[in-house]
Amino acid sequence: LACQIAQDKEIKNFDSHEKRWSLAYASIHPLGWKVIITAPNDTSHVRANYLSHSLFIVFSVIMFIALIVTYLAADIILRYQRKLEREKKEREEELLRAKNKYETTLSALPDLFFEMGLDGTYYDYHSPDNSLLSAPPQLLLGKKVSDVLPQEAAMTCLNALQEANNTGSSKG
């Protein structure tokens, strides 16, 4: 091991195993410590630096591509979400128009209408005048025809419901 000695804070050169090294050291006087840094004098550190920079560039390009792909994916998702929201709004408007048309048609008719199940349960009604009902609406809704009307009238209603279900209409 050949070494050149000089004063603190200078670079020293020495040969070890046929490689040239640079050695820098400095003393920290109050503590009595010496700091030593070594580096090879050949081109291996240049190749390592080149490789390090190349890997950094490759990594940067990959990250840039990932960022672009993420942005494009987010843009596609947001556009699709906006499209779904527009379609939902259009469907809600169509439904509201149909409901308004239905309510307008019903309110123009002077007859009583009942929405009933096949078992004769009252689900809803329409009446231009509640005095036309045989009982107050609170007593009808959720009850069966047989609970509200006399037995013969209830049977006529149930038969008409079955006929309407089987044929699509009833004259009963």
CB–CB of 118/161 below 8 Å? yes
List, for residues 16-63, the tens digit of each pLDDT value: 555 555 555 555 555 555 555 555 555 555 555 666 677 788 888 898
pTM: 0.45
- Residue whose pair of structure tokens reads 């008409």 in the numeric block: 160
In the chain the first and final C-alpha atoms are separated, in Å, by 120
Rounded Cα distance between 5 and 67, Å, is 53
List, for residues 34-47, the tens digit of each pLDDT value: 555 555 555 555 55
